[in-house]
Amino acid sequence: MAVQAESLGNKFKIALLQVSVGADKQANLTSARKKIEEARANEAKLVMLPECFNCPYDNKCFPEYAEEVPEVGTKLGDFNPGSTVEMLQKAAAEHSLYVVGGSIPEISEGKVYNTSVSVSPTGTIVAKHRKVHLFDIDVPGGIRFMESEVLSAGNSLTTFDVGGMKIGVAICYDVRFPELSLLLSGQGAQLLCIPGAFNMTTGPAHWELLMRARALDNQMYVAACSPARDPDGSYVAWGHSMVCNPWGMVIAEADETEQIVYAEIDLERLREVRQSIPVTKQKRSDIYAVTVADS
- Which positions are annotated as active-site residues? 51, 131, 172
Nearest to 4 by CA among 168, 164, 161: 161
Residues 93-117: b if buried by 16+ CB within 10 A, e if exposed: bebebbbbbbbbbbbeeeebbbbbb
Residues 143-154: b if buried by 16+ CB within 10 A, e if exposed: eebebeebbbeb
